[in-house]
Amino acid sequence: MYETLLFLHVLSAFVLVASIGLCWAIYVGGGSLVRLGAVVFPVWGAASISVLVFGVWLAFDVPGYQLWDGWILAALALWAVSGAFGSQLSQGYKAMTSGTTERPALLAHVVATAAVLLLLIDMVWKPGA
C-alpha cells in the first residue's frame, strides 16, 4: 500500500511540475502557445488535488508521521500558495486567450514555482521529522 501511495504521490508531483513548466512555456513562447492553457490548467488542478490526497493519505499510512508535524503543515501551506497562484495564472491566461488582457504577471509564475521548489525541499529534508 505504501509503495502504491508513494508512486501516485510522486507521479502527481511530476505532473504538477510539468504543468508549471508548460505555464512558463506559454509565458515565454506567448502567442501560439497560449492554446496549451486549455489543457495545462485542468491538468495542473487535477495534479494539485492528487498530490494533496495521496500526500495526506501517506501521512495517515506511515507510522511516525502525523498530519500536524511541522514539515507536513509547511507542505500544506506551500501547496495552498502554489494552488492560489496557479488559479490566478489560469484566470489570467483564460483572459489572455479571449484577448482582454496581457499575459499574467511574471511574479505569479515565480511565486508558484518557488512554492513548489520549497515543497520539494521540505519533502526531502523533512525538517523536524
Partner 1 sequence: MTFLLIRPDSWNVPLFLHVAGAMLVTASVVVAVAALLLAWRADGEERAAITRFGFRTLLIAGIPSYFLMRLAAEWIVSRENISSDNAPGWVGIGRGTADLGGILILIATILTGVGMRRLRGGGGAGLAKTGTVLATLVIALYVIAIWAMTTKPS
Binding site for partner 1 (CB under 8 A): 2-4, 6-7, 10-11, 13-14, 17-18, 20-22, 24-25, 28-29, 32-33, 35-36, 39, 61-64, 117, 120-121, 124-125, 129
Total residue count of the chain as it appears in this document: 129
Nearer to partner 1, 34 or 76 (CB): 34
SS3 (DSSP) at 92? helix
In the complex, minimum distance from the CB of residue 41 to partner 1, in angstroms, rounded to a whole number = 13
3-state DSSP assignment of residue 126: coil
Q: For the purposes of burial, counting CB atoms within 10 Å of the CB of 64, is it exposed (0-12), middle (13-18) or buried (19 or more)?
A: exposed
Cβ of residue 32: shortest distance to partner 1, in angstroms?
Answer: 5
Instruction: Please answer whether residues 35 and 92 qualify as being in contact, where contact means their C-beta atoms are separated by less than 8 angstroms.
Output: no
CB of 1 to partner 1, least distance (A): 10
